[in-house]
Amino acid sequence: MLGTTVERLREQGWQGPTWWRFGRPGWHPLTDALNDEPDWDLIDRRRQAREDQKQAEEQRAAKAEQDAADAKQQARLLTARAPVCSRRPGGLCR
């Protein structure tokens, strides 16, 4: 599917970089816009971006899980120390 504007047709003519092809970046001459060859570089960049995003999400999830485990461990330690701390003068542990 191709698109253009009347203004671009007036400025560039129908053979100039007037045509925008859905799914491809930028403006193209009509013959390039009609070219049905896949843009492999664009496909690879999009695939890599998806993989990078997925990896970043997995890393964020792993960090959140580790942070939760650390917080749980810290809470257990504080709970275990509470009886000992309460017997000390001032009731504080450092």
Determine the pLDDT at residue 89: 64
Determine the pLDDT at residue 79: 82
In contact, 36 and 28? CB cutoff 8 Å: no
How many whole angstroms separate alpha carbon 26 and alpha carbon 19? 9
Q: Which residues of the chain have pLDDT under 50?
A: none
Determine the pLDDT at residue 38: 80
How many whole angstroms separate alpha carbon 3 and alpha carbon 70? 55
In contact, 13 and 34? CB cutoff 8 Å: no
Largest CA distance in the chain: 89
Determine the pLDDT at residue 3: 92
